[in-house]
Structure 1
């Protein structure tokens, strides 16, 4: 999926109308936004296939991510846009984007722009699953 070509709707360039609805990613793909105008996004390291993070994007974050090919999230707690990894001085380049079948969630495969940095997953608490014998 090419994420360089996208249609802009409305005067703000952030996809279709505000709130729920769809955001146009390119000429063939739209993502469905929830009632708050957000879509869950899973980040996966393109080299190790490790799942790194689960966050949410609004139209503003989607638009910024598509334009810059750098991951931006909408921080629900602060109501602001944040570049993923900025607190640690890191940047993540988007290498591919996939939608689930219902187009209600996104998988972004990413690569750290700092080659010397080991990408750490946000998923650090492992739960032991008990099996019956």
Structure 2
């Protein structure tokens, strides 16, 4: 497993500052980072539409994800970058990126690069919602 340590960003077209709390995704879109420099990212399977995971990306993870079109997350506990699914030997290709209206969260639709793998959601605990009469 290859964890990447934080490095300084070069000028590669992504991540140029549009203000202290924003990350430039392309010529038309910026995402707003929270006070810790992070943005919540929801991963959704592009085929089944199942929500797979909720994690956070910092500038480094966003930049790596955009460059490689593979999902990277910033692990807050260790301060490292991790390729999503790497512990299980999986890799997820980014197929689309959407921002919410406020540009404070991201939805990434992804596809497993190993087509024989069944993608499992991190959301496994279902709560029954009772309706009032």
TM range (shorter): 0.7 to 0.9
Q: Counterpart of 1:23 in 2: which secondary structure?
A: strand
Pairs aligned (count): 133
Using the TM superposition, give the Cα deviation of residue 46 of structure 1 relative to its aligned residue in structure 2, in angstroms: 0.1
Using the TM superposition, give the Cα deviation of residue 11 of structure 1 relative to its aligned residue in structure 2, in angstroms: 5.7
Structure 1's consecutive aligned runs of 4 or more residues displaced over 4 angstroms after TM superposition are: 1-14, 17-20
Q: Counterpart of 2:118 in 1: which secondary structure?
A: coil
Using the TM superposition, give the Cα deviation of residue 15 of structure 1 relative to its aligned residue in structure 2, in angstroms: 1.7
Q: Distance in 2 between matches of 1:41 and 1:51?
A: 11
Using the TM superposition, give the Cα deviation of residue 16 of structure 1 relative to its aligned residue in structure 2, in angstroms: 3.8
Q: 1:100 to 1:3 in 2, by over 3 A?
A: farther
Q: Which has the higher contact order (CA 8 A, sep 6+)?
A: 2
* Range with greater deviation from structure 2 (46-55 or 4-13): 4-13
Q: TM-score, normalised by structure 2?
A: 0.88
Instruction: Give yes or no for contact 2:39–2:106 (8 Å, CA) kept in 1.
Output: yes
Using the TM superposition, give the Cα deviation of residue 59 of structure 1 relative to its aligned residue in structure 2, in angstroms: 0.3
Q: TM-score, normalised by structure 1?
A: 0.88
Instruction: Give yes or no for contact 2:45–2:109 (8 Å, CA) kept in 1.
Output: yes
Q: 1:110 to 1:100 in 2, by over 3 A?
A: same
Q: Counterpart of 1:61 in 2: which secondary structure?
A: helix
Using the TM superposition, give the Cα deviation of residue 104 of structure 1 relative to its aligned residue in structure 2, in angstroms: 0.3
Using the TM superposition, give the Cα deviation of residue 132 of structure 1 relative to its aligned residue in structure 2, in angstroms: 1.2
Where in structure 2 are there 5+ consecutive unaligned residues? none
Q: Distance in 2 between matches of 1:126 and 1:77?
A: 26
